[in-house]
Structure 1
Amino acid sequence: MKKLFFLPLLLSQPVLAQTEYQADVLPQALRENAHAVVRRHETLFTVKSSGEATQRIHSIVTVLDEQGDNHAKMAVAYDKLSKVTNLEGSLYDAAGKLIKKLKKTDISDYSSYTDYNLFDDNRLKSASFPKQPVYPYTVEFTVETNERNLMFYPTWLPQNEEHLSVEQATFTVSMPKGLALRYKEMNLPLAGVSTPSAGGGTLYSWKLANTPAMELEPISPPAREQLPMVYTAPADFDVDDYKGHLTSWSDVGQFYYKLNEGRDQLPEDLRQRVLELVKNETTTLSKVRKIYQYLQEHTRYVSIQLGIGGWQTIGADKVAVSKYGDCKALTNYTKALLKAAGIPAYPALVRAGDNEPDILTDFPSFQFNHVILCVPNDRDTLFLECTSGHGPAGYMSDFTGSRHALLVLPDGSHLIKTPAYQSADNLQQRRIVVTLTERGDATANVRTRYTGLQQDDYTSVIHQLNLDDQRSWLLKRIRIPAYELMNFAFSEQPGPIPAVTETLTLAVRQCATVSGTRLFLTLNLMSALSPAPPVLQARRAAVDLGPNYDFSDSDTITYQIPQGYTPEFTLEPLVVESKFGRYQAQLTVNGDRITYIRHIAMHRGRFPASTYSEWIDFRKKVAKADRAQMVFVKRN
């Protein structure tokens, strides 16, 4: 009787287990707007001591269409301080039937070496399933690792992209007795809970369930401000025989300082060379510029990532010999050069990247991926990007500008702000002279001066591309329907706000449209803005205009009209005012020459979601104004 009683239960267990591999049981709400659905995602991070932890991640994801195929791949990074102890994977069809299990031969193991990493002990284990001919299908991965770099604890991000819904996900952190967990929750429907565990430790756990896919709205805040996630960090850690305490930004700076203390010593002959180099300079600023120029002319950037060396620099004496280094090494080397000249300077840790969000200022932890040098100079603090081979001293660009950095001092390290570049710094000043023919074709001579953030791309092109590639880059960038690039040239003007001047000669086909005795000419030749994406549903997120929206563009275009043509009408001056910026355009006629002047100034800022309709209206009016045409009639 006992056997008969238990038999149905035993038979039912595989059926229940199979449901998370079956696509047809998925609720429609989780399919909506999704390319994939996380059926189950379990993360268990077990801290054994201040210097060792294990992590196990088990995930089951149903892929609904081709755009979700990236979930059929798994890559796990490791180095000498971490080890991948297990990597398993399985593939199932829509009905939950097993198609394939990963074999050892399916798993690749290779160095993550790149052409800018001279020394790198980072490696990857990776595996992927072949592209499936039928959707949906389900993939399952289990990854287990051993971690001995506990400067970093995991960040839980179960819904880590757009168009991904989550059926169920859990995150558990097991802390031993005597070690505290620090964490920060963001955008979670339910707060985490903590419970006692065996041996006097504590279990922390978070859950997420039945969360529909999200599509980030245009010009909305960073994803981390909208997606559910949990940041974790230690209070005490041990890595490669270095111990650290981590509860404040001063703690972070103190650890970095101790890790790199005493590594700024230069060979005596180089120290004397520095003194000779600056002996005729009378100001701190001129000395810094001289030394920075020496750095750029005599060193090159090479990434070096080796164990704790990801945070510990190579000594300045070694850089003096090798003439290369990573951001830490070149920053430390520059600090040593300035020290030889009697100028104090301090490293500043920063999260760099053109599109990287700023750090979480209320959660002290190792959130940084780059280091720059800060040179106090009375009220005029100077920042140096020591990995740049061509940038001017003091200019940060959008790679490290306008964000928080941790100034590392012997005592009392603290957060500071890097320079922010305003609308008046980021200029595009364009002058164009256009000569029209009766057929509507034209030649255009264009001179444009870009400053601040608007010159960043051009500086990179000048220093990284040859002439043929520069031409190809320009051909993709110039927004004219039909033209030929006859000539082009660039010139740089270095300074605290650097500038690039671009000159172009263009042959433009059908610049004006001919219809009988009339010429129809769109006045804005190269700088027209498009309308903003419309609202398809109620706006949820704030309108976030970042640093790239802080700019000021002006265009002055002079058109030489063919003889015998006169304007059929004129255009009245136009001004469009908005909280987001200001647009103005005007036209003057002087015989057979007309001059079109356009100016738009934008301002960064964050505005309530309700203002998106105002943003659409502003962009619509600007786009309409940028399509303005003049009509010229040929007189007999």
Structure 2
Amino acid sequence: MKYSFWILLLTGQVAWAQNEYKASAIEASLKENAHSVIRRYETIFTVKSPGEATERTHTVITVLDKEADSQAQKMVYYDKFSKITSFEGALYDAEGKLIKRLKKSDIEDYSTYADYNLFDDQRVKAASFPKQPTYPYTVEFLIETTERNLMFYPTWMPQHQQNVAVEQSTYTVHMPAGLALRYKEMNLPTPGVVTDSPEGGKTYTWKLANLPAVEFEPLSPPASEILPVVYTAPTEFDVQNHKGKLTSWSDVSRFYHALNDGRDIIPDALKQRVLELTKQETTTAGKVRSLYKFLQEHTRYVSIQLGIGGWQTIEAEKVAMHKYGDCKALTNYTLALLKAAGIKSFPALVRAGDDEPDLLVDFPSFQFNHVILCVPDGRDTLFLECTSGHGPAGYMSDFTGNRHVLLILPDGGRLTQTPTYRPTDNRQQRRITVNLTDQGDADANVRTYYSGLQQDAYASVMQRLNRDDQRSWLLKRIRIPAFELNSFAYNEQPGTLPAVTETLALTARRWATVSGTRLFLPLNLLSALSPAEPLTQPRRAMVNLDASYAYEDSDTVVYQLPKGYVPEYRIEPISIDSKFGRYKSELAVNGDRVTYVRHIQMQGGRFPATAYTEWVDFRKKVAKADRTQLVFIKAN
């Protein structure tokens, strides 16, 4: 009966589509800067109880060019908590005429199992229409699911990326009597509407229409801070008979604590091992480092996503036995090791990822994808990334650094922050010696010290790649034309703020240009910055300089000139100051030896949109200074 209903519905849609899905019916303003136009995006989320809901999504998208061909694909994820009850789709030509309707055989069903996932019950149903020879064309999908994990409610963000226009979109949430909806609206032209339903509950409705495509400006904040979005969350939920409330961060913490309480027991023999490992350590930090090293040497990370296992850890005793665990299990296991050494620690839920935005701190909900361990130590606090097989204790990198986390405490948790790495933490200190020939060729020896966030990529390469692959990776990063890499080496210096030292031996052909009796020498060998992208119209979004823009670079390059050359003119020191950073460079000539010193310190942060012009000007001046050449003339 249900399948017949969908066939009738789609048949009705086809007749309607021939009139309304014509690409020519799209307003010209919606096609401007757009690769696709969302004709319809209707989501209906119906909550039946704290433990069950249905979600029905109807999307119709007109693809304008090849950049949006991915819209002709649909992937729907499910697991033991969810069931896909309907998966329908249709393809239309530019006139809105039906080309193809999805068949059951067109829909693939497979596991999302990956190499790092040892246990995972998540699956996906996927379908795609064949690539079309002409544009535009239109795709339609009707998806209905049943959900039994109501820790999470949907997030509505129809205009989810740039170069997508929206003709019309609606989001409707039906709540039964006795259950309230929590929501947060951002960047909406008009707020949602709440009405009473005949059954005694409430219906919440949001609508958007005629949204032109957006092109993100350079250094824009995350899309969720620019585009319309509605976050929704429950006040009560039930997952596999685990009940919880969700009105505060303390509610989230209490649920997680109750779910995992009592799972930090380790065997007596392991407790004795802990005491043996830490008996020579006189400080909490020393004991933590010792046990963290033990963790890294005796366990490995796997992902375990089975049922409530996405949030409930396996017992520490099992980790001790099997020597593996996911982020929850390894964090809980480390907590148990520290507990055996008399050290208190607490799990901390975090939204991890190099490009992940921070939590919505004013909207308590399950926004997390990872857990780390917090170890208070007097006035200091140490955070541990328990899934890392080689990172130093206490270092968060930009994967979990500089963001809010939720501490899981027995009496209700609270938000705190992980370490923020300052420019002086993220250093690059480089010294280069260069011997130049009469033809302008150069032999260079380079020694570079990277610390903090600047060492992350190098430490990762050291751990993940063999020597040949390291060499290939390095060759792509060196921005010198016509060079040969004669040798290279890396050396790690672990610590709360880790560092990597890199040594290179290079040969560069025609680094300096010889013209008659003159020698034109570029001074900045490896660290030149490029200009920023200028804007052709007024800036709208604030300027977002993330953690990667908080750094300090120092370069000293010593050039040994061929005999007989003297400077044709003097180059004065350069100093450039702005709210974004400070730059200076200077040059010293002593006989046939030239010493170039460059220093730049950049400041991350957020600045008003009007500051972008200053940013472009600052980067333009720095780029010009970095292109400075010194001209030498050969003496008679």
| Conservation of the 8 A alpha-carbon contact between 1:56 and 1:145 | yes
Deviation of 1:364 (Å): 0.1
| Conservation of the 8 A alpha-carbon contact between 1:37 and 1:61 | yes
| Conservation of the 8 A alpha-carbon contact between 1:20 and 1:40 | no
CA distance in 2 between partners of 1:48 and 1:187 (Å): 29
| Conservation of the 8 A alpha-carbon contact between 2:14 and 2:98 | no
Q: Does 1:92 align with 2:92?
A: yes
CA distance in 1 between partners of 2:186 and 2:451 (Å): 37
Q: How much is the aligned-residue C-alpha RMSD, in angstroms?
A: 1.0
Letter paired with 1:94: A
Counterpart of 2:18 in structure 1 is: 18
Q: Does 1:315 align with 2:315?
A: yes
Counterpart of 2:298 in structure 1 is: 298
| Conservation of the 8 A alpha-carbon contact between 2:219 and 2:545 | yes
Counterpart of 1:5 in structure 2 is: none
| Conservation of the 8 A alpha-carbon contact between 2:107 and 2:125 | yes
Letter paired with 2:545: L
Deviation of 1:605 (Å): 1.3
Counterpart of 1:454 in structure 2 is: 454
**What's the secondary structure of 2:171's corresponding residue?**
strand
CA distance in 2 between partners of 1:285 and 1:40 (Å): 57
CA distance in 2 between partners of 1:14 and 1:293 (Å): 63
CA distance in 1 between partners of 2:518 and 2:123 (Å): 67
Deviation of 1:514 (Å): 1.3
Q: How does 1:133-172 map to 2 (within 5 A)?
A: 133-172=133-172
Q: Does 1:601 align with 2:601?
A: yes
Q: Measured at CA, do residues 14 and 82 of structure 1 come closer, stay the same or move farther in structure 2, by a change above 3 Å?
A: closer
**What's the secondary structure of 2:503's corresponding residue?**
strand
Letter paired with 1:217: E
**What's the secondary structure of 1:387's corresponding residue?**
coil
**What's the secondary structure of 1:134's corresponding residue?**
coil
Counterpart of 1:423 in structure 2 is: 423
**What's the secondary structure of 1:526's corresponding residue?**
coil
Letter paired with 1:446: V
Q: How does 1:198-597 map to 2 (within 5 A)?
A: 198-597=198-597
| Conservation of the 8 A alpha-carbon contact between 2:17 and 2:96 | no
CA distance in 2 between partners of 1:133 and 1:631 (Å): 57
Deviation of 1:19 (Å): 3.5
CA distance in 1 between partners of 2:484 and 2:403 (Å): 41
**What's the secondary structure of 1:558's corresponding residue?**
strand
CA distance in 2 between partners of 1:14 and 1:553 (Å): 61
Deviation of 1:16 (Å): 5.3
Moved more, 276-285 or 341-350: 276-285
**What's the secondary structure of 1:622's corresponding residue?**
helix
CA distance in 2 between partners of 1:215 and 1:535 (Å): 12
**What's the secondary structure of 2:250's corresponding residue?**
helix
**What's the secondary structure of 1:538's corresponding residue?**
coil
Count residues with an aligned counterpart.
625
Q: Measured at CA, do residues 345 and 14 of structure 1 come closer, stay the same or move farther in structure 2, by a change above 3 Å?
A: closer
CA distance in 1 between partners of 2:222 and 2:211 (Å): 19
Letter paired with 1:383: F
Q: Measured at CA, do residues 294 and 15 of structure 1 come closer, stay the same or move farther in structure 2, by a change above 3 Å?
A: closer
Q: Measured at CA, do residues 378 and 14 of structure 1 come closer, stay the same or move farther in structure 2, by a change above 3 Å?
A: closer
CA distance in 2 between partners of 1:586 and 1:168 (Å): 59
Deviation of 1:635 (Å): 1.5
Counterpart of 1:6 in structure 2 is: none
Counterpart of 1:633 in structure 2 is: 633
CA distance in 1 between partners of 2:179 and 2:559 (Å): 73
Counterpart of 1:8 in structure 2 is: none
| Conservation of the 8 A alpha-carbon contact between 2:300 and 2:389 | yes
For 1:518-567, what per-residue CA distance to the aligned partner results, in whole angstroms no more than 9, with x for missing partners?
Answer: 11111101111010001111100001111111100010000010011111
For 1:71-90, what per-residue CA distance to the aligned partner results, in whole angstroms no more than 9, with x for missing partners?
Answer: 00000010001011111111
Letter paired with 1:259: L
For 1:7-39, what per-residue CA distance to the aligned partner results, in whole angstroms no more than 9, with x for missing partners?
Answer: xxxxx9976543432101111100000000000
Counterpart of 1:194 in structure 2 is: 194
Give structure 2 stretches of 5+ with no counterpart: 1-11
| Conservation of the 8 A alpha-carbon contact between 1:407 and 1:414 | yes
Counterpart of 1:615 in structure 2 is: 615
CA distance in 1 between partners of 2:51 and 2:184 (Å): 22
Deviation of 1:198 (Å): 2.2
CA distance in 2 between partners of 1:453 and 1:253 (Å): 30
Deviation of 1:199 (Å): 1.1
Letter paired with 1:322: H
For 1:582-610, what per-residue CA distance to the aligned partner results, in whole angstroms no more than 9, with x for missing partners?
Answer: 00000000110000000110011111101
Q: Measured at CA, do residues 332 and 14 of structure 1 come closer, stay the same or move farther in structure 2, by a change above 3 Å?
A: closer
CA distance in 1 between partners of 2:208 and 2:509 (Å): 58
**What's the secondary structure of 2:357's corresponding residue?**
coil
For 1:265-324, what per-residue CA distance to the aligned partner results, in whole angstroms no more than 9, with x for missing partners?
Answer: 001111111111111111111101100000000001111111110000010000001100
CA distance in 2 between partners of 1:113 and 1:198 (Å): 44
**What's the secondary structure of 2:507's corresponding residue?**
strand
Counterpart of 2:8 in structure 1 is: none
Deviation of 1:454 (Å): 0.4
Counterpart of 2:132 in structure 1 is: 132
| Conservation of the 8 A alpha-carbon contact between 1:335 and 1:345 | yes
Counterpart of 2:57 in structure 1 is: 57
TM-score scaled by length of structure 2:
0.97
Counterpart of 1:9 in structure 2 is: none
| Identical aligned residues as a percent | 69
Letter paired with 2:192: G
| Conservation of the 8 A alpha-carbon contact between 2:156 and 2:229 | yes
| Conservation of the 8 A alpha-carbon contact between 1:160 and 1:227 | yes
CA distance in 2 between partners of 1:13 and 1:350 (Å): 43
Give structure 1 stretches of 5+ with no counterpart: 1-11
Q: Does 1:103 align with 2:111?
A: no
CA distance in 2 between partners of 1:87 and 1:465 (Å): 42
| Conservation of the 8 A alpha-carbon contact between 2:252 and 2:365 | yes
| Conservation of the 8 A alpha-carbon contact between 1:20 and 1:39 | no
Letter paired with 1:456: D
